[in-house]
């Protein structure tokens, strides 16, 4: 991420043209919707568009929605302000992405948020606040970030807040670092016969100005600022990527990694394509939010849990098998314990999941007589013709995959 230390010239006396700005925002939204999203993610635009606190521009809170999945696309360089700025312009604002996430998080129809990233990064200001917000949303709804095909610097900070990160085979991830640019124009101006004069108050007011070489004390101050931001960046990534320590993150030395290498060193969870991930999320209705102790490879995720090793079909896993596998995978989880106990008493997977969810709300997870009766009735309806489905012995790996997939699908996290 780049922090400009060059003194900028600002326009003055220019009144904002509210109607023109809003018209541009409208046109930009249409371009973004039709030329970028619609071709890749069939569905409907969702989310309100509201004016900001000043009433002078529309905040782009719309996202693409289909089958329980909200798509938020981030492209180009990242800037802090300008919520009306969208991906079609070549810039994306933290303000706008925050508004999109807030709208998707509040939409009861949205079960999963898909964050589509193709950005080299951008401003430091606002980047970590957005990463914090993405992380907070991911505690309520699964957020799947896809590096398609670039999530570098501030864009990777954003991705690190997601529940999981998928990279395309050619996707570039990383660049966890900070840079400050100082441009010394003094010799060029001297050749041109230009002699700038800075009139100021406050000893550090013109630190880093481009009209003189950078003094060592100013360089030291800027380095201290960079180091502080770098520490914030590393801590942000370490929080979101629990598989990486701060030392491991620093050891990358701001390198970028391609595809499978990012998975190997822990910057991403798996390799996939945009289309495959979109179809997977839409077909399941929610993301497979990885829980502590549960990991699945791409091959595991594509393999049906109803097919045992060796290619032999299995029509059902016994409640005892599934209950035992869940408890073995998540021994410290109260939700898993409630889930397994309900299964062992004859509850369907759906009912067991509903009971497990009650733990978050502080409700009782004891099965009522009515629930018990419903559980027994549902169990009788599993197999063809109304009878119990026949059981075939399954390999241990398939049982674990079934347990993980079931728990992730039904109640997200233990």
The catalytic residue positions are 153, 205
Cis previous bond, 358, omega within 30: no
Contact between residue 32 and residue 20 where contact means Cβ atoms under 8 Å apart: no
Q: How far apart (Å, rounded) are the C-alpha atoms in residues 409 and 291?
A: 11
β-strand 143-152 against 256-258: which pairing, if any? Answer: unpaired
Main-chain dihedrals φ then ψ at residue 245, nearest 5 degrees: -85, 165
Main-chain dihedrals φ then ψ at residue 74, nearest 5 degrees: -125, 115
> For residue 175, is it left (φ>0), alpha (ψ between -120 and 50) or beta?
left
* Eight-state DSSP code of residue 385: G
Q: How far apart (Å, rounded) are the C-alpha atoms in residues 334 and 349?
A: 16
CB atoms within 10 A of CB 177: 19
Longest dimension (CA), the chain: 94
DSSP 39-95: HHS-SEEES--EE-TTSSSEE---EEEETTEEEEEEESEEESS-TT--GGGTEEEHH
Contacts 24+ apart (CB under 8 A), 181-186: 181/2, 181/3, 181/4, 181/5, 181/6, 182/5, 182/6, 182/208, 182/210, 182/214, 182/222, 183/6, 183/210, 184/210, 184/212, 184/213, 184/214, 185/210, 185/211, 186/210, 186/211, 186/212, 186/213
Contact between residue 121 and residue 156 where contact means Cβ atoms under 8 Å apart: yes
Helix, strand or coil, per DSSP, at residue 220 = helix
> Measured in whole angstroms, how far is the alpha carbon of residue 308 from the centre of its chain?
33
Contact between residue 132 and residue 160 where contact means Cβ atoms under 8 Å apart: no
Q: How far apart (Å, rounded) are the C-alpha atoms in residues 167 and 183?
A: 35
């Amino acid at each position: 991420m780049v922090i400009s230390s060059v003194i900028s010239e600002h326009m003055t006396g220019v009144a904002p043209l509210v109607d023109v700005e809003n018209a541009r925002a409208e046109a930009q939204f249409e371009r973004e919707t039709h030329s970028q999203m619609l071709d890749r993610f069939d569905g409907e635009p969702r989310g309100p568009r509201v004016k900001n606190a000043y009433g002078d521009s529309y905040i782009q809170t719309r996202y693409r929605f289909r089958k329980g999945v909200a798509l938020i696309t981030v492209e180009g360089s990242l800037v802090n302000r300008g919520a009306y700025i969208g991906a079609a312009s070549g810039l994306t604002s933290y303000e706008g992405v925050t508004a999109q996430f807030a709208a998707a998080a509040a939409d009861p129809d949205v079960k999963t948020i898909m964050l589509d990233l193709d950005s080299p990064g951008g401003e430091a200001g606002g980047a970590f606040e957005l990463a914090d917000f993405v992380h907070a949303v991911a505690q309520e709804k699964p957020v799947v970030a896809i590096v398609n095909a670039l999530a570098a610097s501030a864009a990777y900070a954003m991705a690190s807040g997601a529940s999981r990160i998928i990279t395309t085979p050619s996707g570039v991830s990383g660049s966890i670092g900070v840079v400050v640019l100082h441009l010394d124009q003094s010799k060029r101006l001297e050749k041109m016969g230009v002699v700038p004069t800075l009139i100021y108050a406050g000893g550090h007011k013109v630190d880093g100005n481009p009209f003189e070489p950078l003094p060592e004390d100013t360089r030291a101050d800027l380095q201290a600022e960079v180091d502080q931001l770098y520490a914030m960046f590393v801590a942000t990534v370490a929080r979101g990527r629990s598989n990486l320590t701060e030392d491991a993150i620093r050891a990358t030395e701001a390198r970028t990694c391609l595809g499978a290498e990012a998975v190997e060193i822990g910057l991403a969870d798996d390799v996939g394509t945009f289309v495959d991930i979109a179809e997977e999320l839409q077909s399941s209705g929610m993301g497979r939010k990885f829980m502590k102790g549960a990991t699945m490879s791409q091959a595991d995720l594509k393999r049906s849990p109803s097919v045992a090793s060796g290619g032999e079909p299995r029509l059902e896993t016994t409640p005892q098998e599934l209950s035992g596998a869940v408890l073995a995978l998540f021994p410290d989880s109260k939700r898993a314990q409630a889930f397994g106990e309900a299964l062992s008493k004859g509850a369907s997977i759906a009912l067991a999941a509903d009971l497990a969810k009650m733990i978050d709300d502080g409700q009782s997870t004891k099965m009522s007589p009515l629930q018990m009766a419903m559980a027994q009735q549902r169990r009788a309806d599993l197999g063809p013709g109304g009878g119990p489905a026949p059981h075939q012995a399954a390999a241990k790996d398939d049982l674990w995959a079934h347990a993980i997939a079931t728990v992730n699908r039904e109640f997200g996290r233990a």
